[in-house]
A and B are shown apart, each in its own frame.
Chain A
């Protein structure tokens, strides 16, 4: 990505953030172009949410070493109000006012942006329609399903026509129908010129909507690029998953050096771009003990961030 771009919405250069001795984000730099979608990918605790919070002033980056962070040209350390006025935020955890109905929830937020009542009313109707919630206008929050709550929070983030939409794991825990609906809406927003910053640990989500992804691990950038290209450049095309432990020895002997092997206690993964080679190996196994498939972003992710759990 170009270092200086006239269209950048966010420009971060060498950003650090620590909590006590814990370094949550380390020398992190990135650029987000207008009307594109950037996805932060990484395991839990990788620093995705922290970096996102730094962008809208929810968190303050370290003063030392010196760094730059500009959002619409504003420094979040000084101009949080301006940035928040131009942005919409969908937090990781739902935080609707359960005492109020759907419409009231949005009305309360329209006041935070100083939107006049008449304008707010029509904006709310438009947004409920856009998020396919029109028939739930008077519903109580408790009556909404998980997917509806999430859509309502996205509608809430869109109240002020944000130029930057910040989505922290927008579809975690939702069923496939809702996820696809939300992805469609995000694509629609993007084509209308909204810039999108996304965190996710769903590889498919990143693949579906992000133009550019940054894979993070332990607060650092591991790899970045266009998701499809990254996969092409960094991964073999196919993988053979072997699940029967008794066959591990047999396969290990049979596999040539050209086949990349990744063995854990429970499974063995063999990567190669030639499907025939892997097919030949699989012929030695009982059906049901293996699975031959195309590699995906998740394989790349695991390759980069390791198979161990990232929990403390």
Chain B
């Protein structure tokens, strides 16, 4: 038998980058259709809330209401974009387009594939946070300078929700099942994670539930970053985010490997 051939296969960072690059290329292909909504969405939201609800509520927890709400939107936008990417997007690549079949025929492992995808979803989260930030700062609601680190929280939020979404996707057999995830998990989380109102008005048991929601921790961290008020709890929040991301990614990759490499 022939002796093993020594070959220079691409190192891990190149493999992850190539997956990230593929998603970036496909996404930016329709830049207008894909890149405009993150700017339009906060605009619509702010007009509706600012001109409507904002007239009645001016303050939340001693904070002016619009900046309170705007900081929350910085991370919810990252949550939604990453969740769409890694539910419907992933499912279509997996089952309909068979895009992964091609990619793992190249020197890419299943782990590379999904770690690269999580990094890409994090990048989208960062980009969406940045878009919202640029809009709200244009209206003088937040300052882009003081909130400069907020898009990084958008990255972490995007990465976390892509890992959670990949885990959900690993169980899904029919694309319509994602309805449960969106209306049953993400929508309630939007309202009960301290984005629109402060959680301490809620009954105690509901507060405990809110503590389990991953988004709650993103919201607390992004407010801390934007309002420069740090305490020990934010370290806990950050650890929670990292832990949820790693755990969900681990099980998601394990389960998706079972579906791709049987």
Contacts and interface: CB of A to CB of B under 8 A. Distances in A.
Interface of A: 4, 6-8, 11, 19, 56-60, 70, 72-74, 80-82, 84-86, 89, 91, 93-100, 104, 108-109, 111-114, 156-157
Given A72-B4, A81-B109, 15 more contacts: A4-B1, A59-B261, A59-B262, A73-B3, A84-B104, A84-B105, A84-B106, A95-B98, A97-B99, A99-B26, A111-B17, A112-B18, A113-B10, A114-B18, A156-B102
Nearest to B14: A114
B232 interface: no
Given A8-B2, A93-B98, A95-B101, A111 B107 contact: no
Interface range on chain B (Cβ under 8 Å from partner): 20 to 34
Given A58-B104, A108-B21, A114-B14, A19 B1 contact: no
B183 interface: no
A301 to B, nearest CB: 28
Contacts of B259: none
Interface in B95-129: 97-99, 101-109
Contacts of A4: 1
A108 B10 CA distance: 14
13 contacts: A7-B2, A82-B7, A82-B107, A84-B104, A86-B7, A91-B98, A93-B98, A95-B97, A104-B25, A108-B25, A112-B18, A114-B9, A156-B102
A29 B69 CA distance: 66
Contacts, number: 102
Nearest to B26: A99
A116 to B, nearest CB: 11
Contacts of A6: 1-2
Contacts of A73: 1-5
Nearest to B17: A111
Contacts of B5: 72-73, 82, 86
B22 interface: yes
B25 A112 contact: no
Contact of B262 (A7, A19, A95, A111): A19
Given A72-B5, A73-B2, A85-B7, A95 B261 contact: no
B2 A100 contact: no
Contacts of A89: 105
Given A98-B97, A99-B29, A111-B17, A91 B102 contact: yes
B15 interface: yes
Contacts of B30: 99
A304 B26 CA distance: 47
A235 to B, nearest CB: 35
Q: What 8 A-B pairs are tightest by C-beta distance, nearest first? A: A114-B10, A112-B106, A89-B105, A111-B18, A95-B98, A73-B4, A95-B102, A84-B107
